[in-house]
Amino acid sequence: MSRGGVSTPILHVDMDAFYASVALRERPDLVDQPVVVGGSGRGVVLAANYVARRHGLRSALPMTRARRMCPQVVVLEPDYALFTAVSASVMETFREVTPIVEAMSLDEAFLDVRGSTRRLGDPPDIAERLRSTIHDEQGITCSVGVAATVSVAKLASRRAKPDGVIVVPPAEVTSFLHPLDVGELYGVGEKTQALLHRFGLMTVGDVAHTPLRTLQRAVGAHLGRELHHLAWGTDRSDLAPSAGPHEPDKSMGANETFARDTDDRDFIVRELLRLSARVGGRMRSAGVAGRTITLTVRFADFTTITRSRTLSEATDVTVEIHRAVTRLYDALGLQRARLRLVGVRVEGLVPRSSVQRQLVLGEPEHGWAEADRAVDRATRRFGAAAVRPASLV
């Protein structure tokens, strides 16, 4: 692709194998080995490094299958507090370049750099600057797509992986897009891909050259119009920026798949405490709190249900999160129902600094919130296993 200029102001920056790359910073001895991040037993792969990917390992793959496919794979436990801290630093780097940053997840964001070119150079120069800064400061790599619209930038960053930059100027959009399978279009999932294939629309070019009304009759008015714009690279170029460098996720959560299905309440309540501590630690690291606590349970037959409770005030305190999910679990009356998975999620997150906790008569001056922060300090210094609730020892 040619260099491009201010006609390509949208950057999509995507960290390369983010969870695995961050985990390997702590284990440089493993960089040449197949490594995945995820839960043990019947959990799933959260991320795989590029060595593991050469063995066919990928995210969302059941861990038992990953081990069969690659017996020598090294499995590292996820450190969500560390992932969140690194993500916050990366997002801060983005905002030093431009205030118009639309974060999509912990490890990817769109940037509009049209207001930064006078100070920092053309968008491709800014892309290279970001890659260099993130590598120097965080010790991980990223890939960047540079284009005029969101979807083309997203596809370009995918093609740039790992550790590269691809620029798609407006004049080259059709030659870049049209040979691709329709399933590669941004936002097109397996069902839409299969639907388009049934109508004989195999490539993006096929979709682009189908009359709009014909396309809409086949897949519906809204989807047809959206696919038409995606196929011609004329989708949106305006971003919805976050409010600031510490813009919180809408929610944070964690799940645990048990090694064996169980109906043991004591065991399940202990796992809910473990998950509550994990989620609370991530929230405190990100400086957020939330009011809505959600419990997820998955039964042995894979039926899944969720239950939520909204607290009177937002919290990031492990004990309060655990108390809420335990009450939700007990309210289900599952004394003999065998569970495969439980999950804890806190939703409606807001900056912790905006929360004014009400004083409670008789509450000690230094309570559970202070205890959590002491645990966080010990964990950062000595590792995740240094301090844990007594019931988990």
Which residues line the annotated binding site? 14, 107
Angle at 142 between CA 141 and CA 147, to 5 degrees: 155
Give the C-alpha separation, 181 to 183, whole Å.
Answer: 5
Give the C-alpha separation, 374 to 162, whole Å.
Answer: 39
Length of the chain: 393
Closest residue by Cα to residue 207 from 189, 229, 187: 229
370 tagged catalytic: no
315, containing H or E segment: strand 304-315
Give the C-alpha separation, 167 to 182, whole Å.
Answer: 21
Helix, coil or strand: residue 252: strand
Q: Catalytic pick from 108, 247, 256, 271?
A: 108
**What residue numbers does the annotated binding site for Mg(2+) cover?**
14, 107
DSSP-assigned states of every residue in 281-324: HHHHHHTEEEEEEEEEEEETT--EEEEEEEEEEEE--HHHHHHH
Q: Are 208 and 234 in contact (CB under 8 A)?
A: no
As a 3-state breakdown, the chain gives helix, strand, coil percent values, each rounded to 5, of 45, 20, 35
Q: Are 280 and 349 in contact (CB under 8 A)?
A: no
Give the C-alpha separation, 381 to 362, whole Å.
Answer: 33
Read off the tokens for 151: 């979807």
List, by residue number, the catalytic residues: 108
